[in-house]
Amino acid sequence: MDTAKILIAEDDEALLNMIAFKLRGIGFSQIFHAHDGKRAKRIALEEKPDVIITDILMPFASGLEVISYIRLELDYDPFIIALSAMDTAQAEAEAYDLGANYYLAKPFNLQALADQVKQVIPIVR
């Protein structure tokens, strides 16, 4: 369906696999996985994904650090979706302040996430 590149940065392997499975099921095939923030930053640099889905709490570098790195150091503008088990206004505000485009509190509906990705792919192209 689409050649958009999607990076999923999530240290919960089961959740990462569920998100990837859902996105593949709706036609996205170029999906990169990162189990920690350090790897997410490296993939963002090397692959320049169109959409980045990042957990906030990850080892080696937080999702907030990943968002900041992408917005301040890399020269491109992907759509960033922040995920967090910290369902607080402060966590959400911090993610948006650093440059996230969308925020989902865990647990979330996988279909809602997939719908958001489908909606933004034409925009980031």
How far is it, in rounded angstroms, from Cα 124 to Cα 64? 21
- Tens digits of residue pLDDT in 42-82: 999 999 999 999 999 898 999 899 999 999 999 789 999 99
CATH class label, 2-110: alpha beta
The residue behind tokens 């050649």 is: 3
pTM listed for this prediction: 0.92
- Tens digits of residue pLDDT in 79-125: 999 998 876 788 889 899 999 999 998 888 999 999 889 888 865 44
